[in-house]
Structure 1
Amino acid sequence: MKLWSKALSVAAVAVAAVSLAACGNSSSKSSGSKDSKGKTVLKVTTWNYDQTPEFGALFKAFEKEHPNVDMQAVDIPADDYDTKVTTMMSSGDTTDILTMKNLLSYSNYALRDQLVDESSHIKKLDTKAAADTYKMYSIKGKTYAQPYRTDFWVLYYNKKLFKEKNIPDPNTWTWDEYVKYAKQLTDTSKGQYGTYQHIWRSTIQAIAAAQNGKNLLKPSYAFEKPYYDRALDLQKSKAQMDYGTAKSTKVTYQSQFEGSKTAMMYMGSWYMGALIQNINKGTTNVEWGIAPIPQKTDAKKVTTFGSPTAFAINKKSKNQKLAQEFLDFASGKKGAEVLAKIGIVPSYKTAAINKLYFGVKGMPTDSLSKKAFSPDKIAVEFPVAKDGPAIDKILQEEHDLIMTGDETPTTAIKNMESRVKTEEQ
């Protein structure tokens, strides 16, 4: 796969289902203690454990190599994950390993001195197969996490619904084509939307920044307006679920796509592993494919955005040595093999790993899906920065106001710029 060798230098099936002996916050055992069988407990923060197959697969594989270890998930709803982990850390929680969902949260914990400095240890490892990803975790020459997964955004589409409406496959559409066909794919009598856009600000702001060569840390956001205008138009025409409804009812993108309630949606590559798992479990029969995310113009080159995911060790962990062994396992060759076999894109990539990935049962192999796997540029969703968390909050707040109709895009963009400038002073 050419994509990450290109993109990261610019910026940045059968699935093994696992039932942990004690999953979530209900366990009474603390990190580093022993379970009822005398095994050492190693706790890891996760999100939506049952819908995120990578965690169970990695835990089970590590336990197989370390039979005296009991991996336990501290599971948190995805939308509440960063808030909950931040609260845990501020209260002195001793959970051993923290999953860094994105670079923004990583910088937050690292700059607060809540993570173990991995810099010296990483120098001893062979990280060539994931070198570009590791660069993204450098903060003033130090690294506090080890990446195990790398994702980028694509357009998922329901082949059956496309065929029913005689809509052509979305072969590198422009955004105008995306809007046009989303409206044609909408069927209000069946409660079917043409497209679904999740509530994250990145669904508009990150792709707008990527396709316009911009940095969200810099308070100049006029480039976002066309992206918001399109989203509001789709919402007004009922071709896209109302933002307020999606947020207030905590709608999941999985339910929308797997329940054929939407004909398409753009989402990260991480979803493929979970989707394949659910198809194999029989919880959905959606006939799916992927395509490149829509582009500004009818361009030959495809630009999207993405972000790596990593594990870090809590400085308050009482079992740091064992935690380090897990990080090395998950971020190295063995972990990459585990992930590739369940349709998750690992950060550690070689020709052999790629072969395993594309050999997963249920992975789409048509030419359009393969094209989606080779974007020309993948920009970092949100760079590491001291002011990152505060800026992210501002951008999310203004995003909410736009999408609920409380502010126009023009007004909100001006507010974003003035508020971020104030924050950076």
Structure 2
Amino acid sequence: MTKRMWTGLAASGLALSVLAGCGAGGGNSQQAAGGDAGKKGDVNLRLYTYGTESAYNWKKTLSAFEEKNPGIKVELVQLSEKGDTQEAMKKLDLAAASGETMDILMFSDPASYAQRIGLGMAAPLDDYIAKEGYKENEEYKVDTSLNGKVYSLPGKFNSWYVLLNKNQLDEAGLPVPKDWTWDQFAEYAKKLTKGDGASKRYGTYFHGPQGGGWTEYMKLMMENQPENADFLKADGTSNLDNPNFKKTLELRMKMEKEDKSAVPYADMISQKLNYRTQFYNQSASMILIGSWMNAELGGTDTMPLNFNLAVAPFPKNNASDPTGIAPVATDYVSVAAGSKHKDEAYKFVRWYTTEGQLVQGKNVPAWNKVKSEDVGKIIDTILSSTKNPEKVDKASLVATMTASKASQIVPTVSYQAEISKALNEEFEKMILGKQDVNATVKSSQDRVNQIIASNKK
């Protein structure tokens, strides 16, 4: 563990959690399956998650696990009522620092996951995997290994795609794209932009980067490549000399400053805009987002769908590039290092990331045993829980999800969050007019190289 990481997180008291181990429980917990925490003698597992009931179907899921595993109860500790992952991670850090009892942890992105693995918050699962006799990178579509060890198993398989307001597409005479490039995406955004002032409708909305997160929006033209799709290469060196990094910055600048077809970054920050409201309130015609949105596509109580919705694949750089390669998000589900019930916690993690995903019925699983022909059935189940599934163009959604595939996984590093923060700061200087694209690329390269050097042992 690096001195820099300890210094940054120990200030909030998080480092104490590694030493504190298990302490008295507390926090905003609820027994998801109903009733009390279980009969005397039951093993009670505490699951810390950012996932909301509406997005994760916890009551049904945890009840199914408990029915199959008598003697084990799972208590849900809800870290954000809104499903806000940044808020959830802050609360998780505070809970760890105060010594709360933890058994199962969920992380939403590689940087959050790697950072807390570096602090010793999760236990390695390699012995359990070896005993069971499978290989994690063959059993699942997402490789979660870090520094040669497996600290989590992946839950959902959420590739990114483009959500489209089909009514607005029809109005502009634009077909639903089945295969397209970034140039075509930018052209669509221009044609879909309408009006002026406060009532202006933008062609698209980019929800990042912000606060050191949502950095997917800084590498759009890198993420659709089979290899070298991230800020770092597999050997841990900088990948920012990749021409697709500069091309992404140029695309963002062109769409916001020249075409004026993207919601201004300054508005996103100052008004604290959210991608759901921008799209469902019809302020933006298209949004690039992850397929965790499948569970909400047909509308919810808080975000109704009042138009017809279609889905398109992640755009390509060139027409000749392979179709469907996109960023992939997953839930990193871990056994807490301080758990006194690691065997039972692993049993839950393994069940949840396999058949538990099918019980949950909210996402396409990362489990490889789910065949591509089953995707349509899974999506039917997912959409059926929304308010207006009939307004969703299911054919375009199934075609996009079936064609989606991840680029070669680049192992995350423990200082990933530090890199993301530095790149976010350089992007802001560019998009707010304080430096040009070339200066942004140069500063980004310099800062990332410094971070890599300072973290070398």
Aligned-partner Cα distance in 2 for 1:154–1:206: 15
Shift of 1:244: 2.2
- 2:223 aligns with 210
* Residue 248, structure 1, aligned to residue 250, structure 2: no
- 2:365 aligns with 345
Shift of 1:389: 2.9
CA contact (8 A) 2:221 2:316 kept: no
CA contact (8 A) 2:30 2:76 kept: no
CA contact (8 A) 1:306 1:380 kept: no
Aligned pairs for 1:213-228 within 5 A: 213-214=227-228, 215-217=230-232, 218-219=237-238, 220-221=240-241, 222-228=243-249
Q: Deviations over 1:263-300 (max 9, x none)?
A: 11111111112334x35888333421211111112225
Q: Deviations over 1:101-122 (max 9, x none)?
A: 1222222222322211211112
The letter of the residue matching 1:216 is: F
Q: Would the alpha carbon gap of residues 64 and 346 (structure 1) be closer, same or farther in structure 2, given more than 3 Å must change?
A: farther
- 1:417 aligns with 445
Q: Would the alpha carbon gap of residues 380 and 47 (structure 1) be closer, same or farther in structure 2, given more than 3 Å must change?
A: farther
- 2:203 aligns with 194
Aligned-partner Cα distance in 2 for 1:126–1:198: 41
Alignment counterpart, residue 118 of structure 1, candidates 125, 133, 145: 125
The letter of the residue matching 2:202 is: Y
Shift of 1:350: 2.5
Shift of 1:311: 0.9
* Residue 58, structure 1, aligned to residue 61, structure 2: yes
Q: Deviations over 1:397-416 (max 9, x none)?
A: 22333333333222121111
Alignment counterpart, residue 265 of structure 1, candidates 250, 271, 287: 287
CA contact (8 A) 2:219 2:245 kept: no
Aligned pairs for 1:207-356 within 5 A: 207-211=220-224, 213-214=227-228, 215-217=230-232, 218-219=237-238, 220-221=240-241, 222-236=243-257, 237-276=259-298, 278-279=299-300, 283-299=304-320, 301-302=322-323, 303-332=325-354, 334-339=355-360, 341-351=361-371, 353-354=374-375, 356=377
3-state SS of the aligned residue for 2:46?
strand
Aligned pairs for 1:369-388 within 5 A: 369-375=397-403, 377-379=405-407, 383-388=411-416
CA contact (8 A) 1:204 1:228 kept: no
Aligned-partner Cα distance in 1 for 2:263–2:224: 24
Aligned-partner Cα distance in 2 for 1:191–1:50: 34
Aligned pairs for 1:127-142 within 5 A: 127=134, 131=138, 133=140, 136-142=143-149
Aligned-partner Cα distance in 2 for 1:135–1:345: 10
Q: TM-score, normalised by structure 1?
A: 0.81
Q: Would the alpha carbon gap of residues 329 and 353 (structure 1) be closer, same or farther in structure 2, given more than 3 Å must change?
A: farther
Aligned-partner Cα distance in 2 for 1:270–1:390: 26
Q: Would the alpha carbon gap of residues 297 and 28 (structure 1) be closer, same or farther in structure 2, given more than 3 Å must change?
A: closer
The letter of the residue matching 2:217 is: I
The letter of the residue matching 2:250 is: D
Aligned-partner Cα distance in 1 for 2:120–2:148: 15
Aligned-partner Cα distance in 2 for 1:300–1:208: 12
What is the root-mean-square deviation of aligned Cα atoms in Å?
A: 3.2
- Structure 1 residue runs of 5 or longer lacking an equivalent are 1-23
Q: Deviations over 1:57-76 (max 9, x none)?
A: 53343344457625223323
3-state SS of the aligned residue for 2:155?
strand
CA contact (8 A) 1:402 1:409 kept: yes
Aligned-partner Cα distance in 1 for 2:124–2:442: 39
Aligned-partner Cα distance in 1 for 2:351–2:374: 15
Aligned pairs for 1:15-164 within 5 A: 25-27=27-29, 35=37, 41-47=44-50, 49-50=52-53, 52-53=55-56, 55=58, 57-65=60-68, 69-76=73-80, 77-125=84-132, 127=134, 131=138, 133=140, 136-164=143-171
- Structure 2 residue runs of 5 or longer lacking an equivalent are 1-25
CA contact (8 A) 1:152 1:306 kept: yes
- 2:16 aligns with none
Q: Would the alpha carbon gap of residues 244 and 55 (structure 1) be closer, same or farther in structure 2, given more than 3 Å must change?
A: farther
Percentage of identical aligned residues: 21
**More RCO (CA 8 Å, sep 6+):** 1
Shift of 1:309: 1.9
Q: Would the alpha carbon gap of residues 379 and 307 (structure 1) be closer, same or farther in structure 2, given more than 3 Å must change?
A: farther
CA contact (8 A) 1:196 1:265 kept: yes
Aligned length: 395
CA contact (8 A) 1:336 1:349 kept: no
Q: Would the alpha carbon gap of residues 265 and 287 (structure 1) be closer, same or farther in structure 2, given more than 3 Å must change?
A: same
Q: TM-score, normalised by structure 2?
A: 0.76
